Amino acid sequence: MIGASLTLIEVFGIKIRVNISWAFIAILLAWGLAEGYFPTIHEQLPQATYWWMSIVAVLGLFLSILLHELAHSLVARAYGMEITGITLWLLGGIAELKGEPPSPKVELLMAIAGPAMSICLGTFFWLSAGALEAFVSVATVLSYLGMLNLILAAFNMVPAFPLDGGRVARAIIWMRTGDYLQATRTAARMGALFGLGLIIVGVLGLLTGAGLASLWWVVLGMFVRFAADSSKLQAETKNVLAGKPVAEFMTPNPITVPSETLVTDLIENWIYHYDFEFFPVVEEKCVVGSVNLRDVRSISLDQHQAIRVKDIMQPITSDAVASPRDLAASVLTRMQESGKSLLMVMEGVNLVGVIAMKDLFRVVAIRSSLEQTE
């Protein structure tokens, strides 16, 4: 999501990754605990002890978030959903699920599993802290982790999508109405509002001098709003494209360019002339590849006179082509996974059209806004 992630281990075949931001937050948190929080709770311990306590606490938090996400993932997998991995980052963890839950019941169970795990962990840490009261430093770390896990559970149960509570809310509305799209819209609206609330709290905090911690709320609020928005878009896309073939959304009879064309020519007579950024390349009426703006930009200006389209074109590969009968929704998923935003639509060896990711999203935006005003 933000910056690079590092794969740590694999548990039950699920890759556990850590985003770079986590290392940063971990150091900041350990420092805050060692220099601030723990010394105020228990005075007169040696400074080194505070640091040991802090490192253990940060690792404990890491493990707690991981177990929370694993609980989500394992329930999801038990119901046949595919999990690509878990990424721990700045604001917690994200279990990456492929696709959407098949039924409201699965979504409900999956969503509740995480907070349930946190409540169990919180209770366990509290009880252990009580049992080990004699060891001040150990008990302090345990009760801190107990508190953190309960806060984690409580925060996640706020009914604002994409938080777990928002998923619970969506599942319940979905169960009652049978309308997945409407349920997602309602849960996403709550998510967007909650995100706005967090941003306002953060900004007020910054204005009143509550310190940099307020920035955290702003970032969290922005993330919640972004995630709520994209979930809504995803549900609308699924709804608009459902069951419809690529043929319905493609641009038919696209303009092609012969492979022998010089790049100067391509720019003058195709790109500037048609204002398209993508052209299928033909050789004696047969499609042999495609060329786009990025390919043109990859060569320097003084080479435009010497290089031909066939030297810079992308060859035809299976991920660059769709059939007019393919389902638009699955082609969109393919585009998002491969990063190819334009595909050639071929009927056997014949080129019949071009399909662009942004056209699909434009159709979704238009039809969804019509639907909402009905």
Shortest distance in whole angstroms from residue 11 CB to Zn ion: 17
What is the nearest approach in angstroms of Zn ion to the Cβ of residue 164?
Answer: 4
| CA atoms of 54 and 38, how far apart (whole Å) | 8
Q: What's the farthest any 2 CA atoms get from each other in the chain? A: 86
Q: Nearest distance from residue 105's CB to Zn ion, in Å?
A: 18
Applying CB under 5 A, what is the total number of residues that bind Zn ion? 3
Q: How far is the CB of 108 from Zn ion (least distance, A)?
A: 13
Report 118-157 residues binding Zn ion (CB under 5 A). 156
Question: Does residue 164 belong to the site contacting Zn ion (CB under 5 A)?
Answer: yes
Identify which range of 22-30, 111-119, 215-223, 326-334 contacts Zn ion by CB under 5 A.
111-119
Alpha helix stretches (DSSP H) within the chain: 20-32, 38-41, 47-78, 104-131, 136-156, 164-177, 180-207, 213-241, 263-265, 272-274, 293-297, 309-312, 328-338, 357-373
Of the pair 164, 236, the CB lying nearest Zn ion is at 164
Residues 6+ apart with CB under 8 A from 217: 198, 199, 201, 202, 205
Q: Is 114 in the site for Zn ion (CB under 5 A)?
A: yes
Nearer to Zn ion, 117 or 257 (CB): 117
- Closest CB to Zn ion among residues 164, 295: 164
Cβ proximity to Zn ion, 149 vs 156, nearer residue: 156
User: How many whole angstroms separate alpha carbon 184 and alpha carbon 224?
Assistant: 14
107 part of the interface to Zn ion, by CB under 5 A: no
Q: What residues from 228 to 257 belong to the interface with Zn ion (CB under 5 A)? A: none
**162: contact with Zn ion by CB under 5 A:** no
Does residue 141 contact residue 53 with C-beta atoms inside 8 Å? Answer: yes
CA 78 to chain centre: 22
Torsion angle (degrees, nearest 10) of CA 152, 158, 159, 162: -50
Enter the tokens of residue 219: 């970032």
Which window, 159-167, 185-193, 241-249, 260-268, contacts Zn ion (CB under 5 A)? 159-167
Binding piece for Zn ion, criterion CB under 5 A, among 52-60, 106-114, 234-242, 273-281 = 106-114
Contacts of 108 (CB under 8 A, 6+ apart): 167, 168, 171, 172, 175
Min separation Cβ 152 and Zn ion, Å:
8
Nearer to Zn ion, 114 or 122 (CB): 114
- In the bound complex, what is the minimum distance in angstroms from residue 223's beta carbon to Zn ion? 14
Nearest residue to Zn ion by CB is 114
CB closer to Zn ion out of 156 and 186: 156
Least gap, CB of 66 to Zn ion (angstroms): 11
CA distances from 194 to 93, 183, 234, 273, 327 (A): 19, 17, 20, 48, 35
Nearest approach, Cβ of residue 65 and Zn ion (Å):
9
Shortest distance in whole angstroms from residue 63 CB to Zn ion: 15
Nearer to Zn ion, 76 or 332 (CB): 76
Burial of 39 (0-12, 13-18, 19+ CB in 10 A): middle
Between CA 120 and CA 130 the distance in angstroms is 15
Q: Nearer to Zn ion by C-beta: 91 or 313?
A: 91
Phi and psi angles of residue 292, each rounded to the nearest 5 degrees, phi first: -135, 175
Question: Based on the number of CB atoms within 10 Å of its own CB, is 235 exposed (0-12), middle (13-18) or buried (19 or more)?
Answer: buried
Instruction: Closer to Zn ion by CB, 87 or 156: give it.
Output: 156
Looking at residues 274 to 333 of the shown chain, list those that interact with Zn ion (rule: CB under 5 A): none
CB of 111 to Zn ion, least distance (A): 7
Q: How many CB atoms lie within 10 A of CB 9?
A: 10
Q: For Zn ion, which stretch binds (CB under 5 A), given 109-117, 179-187, 300-308, 338-346?
A: 109-117
In the structure encoding, which two tokens stand for residue 158, read together? 């706020």
Shorter beta-carbon distance to Zn ion: residue 66 or 173: 66
Instruction: List interacting residues with Zn ion (CB under 5 A).
Output: 114, 156, 164
